[in-house]
Amino acid sequence: MSAATIADPTDDAARDPAPIVPAIAVHGVSHAYGARKALDNVSLTVPASRFTALLGLNGAGKTTLFSLITRLYDTRQGSIDVLGHRVSREPGEALRLLGVVFQARTLDLDISVMDNLLYPAALHGIGRREARQRAHAALQEIDLVDRAREQVRKLSGGQMRRIEIARALLHQPRVLVLDEPTVGLDVASKSAILRQVRALVRERGVAVLWATHLLDEVTPGDAVVVLHRGRVLASGDVADVVTSAGGTDMRSAFIALTGGAPEAPA
């Protein structure tokens, strides 16, 4: 196994009185469905204010990890912290800091775009007036303000995804996790969504965990975690992971790490 490590936050803590708390810290997490082990002693760090790609083939365990981070499942073995808040002990605080975009579509197709944004905002305790302002601003940012009153089912798949991302951000979380958000979208929608999310990191310092099986969604400046058959094979800056795996780029590094997985990500 080759593992480039992400910079140890304690190094910075020694120099800086305000320690840098990782956006997400996963330690020794295992999860099984009956006899099938989906995650095996997984540890990883999602650095604050960066884009981290969680790269893995189908069945690697990405969705299982998301389900544990977002507390759909209880963490029975190991621990998960969101900005220093243990998900199992302080779920309210941890989840308040988290925005989530699930792999399956979760918009209500029969109500308007605006109502899809306003209802979850109410669940987060955001007042109606404030929610309207935030929803309007969010739709403006993704160029869909003119569609606010339309039924969601009249939008394209890419537009729906962008609304889901806007919705996940309405309570102004500091960490955004997205499970394969570009699956099934065309090239233009895919790059619009990547641009939208990368701008959040650059302009607002939101930390992003982006699960994907697509190598072309990873850029050299990203952090990356390679998950394969429930285990973390490498993590750190892309350049370090590539070097430590003896590859020339992320594709060759992925193949080297996974031992020539039958189906390398596209």
Positions touching ligand ATP (CB under 6 A) are 33, 36, 38, 56, 58-64, 213
Q: Which residues pair with 104 in a beta bridge?
A: none
Q: Which CB, 41 or 49, lies closer to ligand ATP? A: 41
b/e per residue, 197-227, with b = 16+ CB within 10 A? bbebbeeeebbbbbbbbebebbeeebbbbbb
Q: How far is the CB of 142 from ligand ATP (least distance, A)?
A: 25
The span from the CA of 121 to the CA of 51, in Å, is 25
Q: Which CB, 69 or 118, lies closer to ligand ATP? A: 69
Q: Which two tokens stand for residue 187?
A: 């090239």
User: Which segments of the chain are extended strands (E)?
Assistant: 24-33, 36-46, 51-55, 77-82, 85-86, 98-101, 175-179, 207-212, 223-228, 231-237
HSE (CB half, 13 Å, CA atoms) of 261?
A: 23
Q: How far is the CB of 205 from ligand ATP (least distance, A)?
A: 27
Look up residue 105 and give its DSSP letter. Answer: -
Strands 223-228 and 51-55: parallel
Q: How far is the CB of 224 from ligand ATP (least distance, A)?
A: 15
Q: How far is the CB of 219 from ligand ATP (least distance, A)?
A: 20
Strands 85-86 and 223-228: unpaired
Q: Which CB, 7 or 57, lies closer to ligand ATP? A: 57
Q: Which CB, 62 or 147, lies closer to ligand ATP? A: 62
Q: How far is the CB of 65 from ligand ATP (least distance, A)?
A: 7
Q: Which CB, 53 or 118, lies closer to ligand ATP? A: 53
Q: Which two tokens stand for residue 164?
A: 């889901």
Q: Which CB, 60 or 168, lies closer to ligand ATP? A: 60
Q: How far is the CB of 254 from ligand ATP (least distance, A)?
A: 14
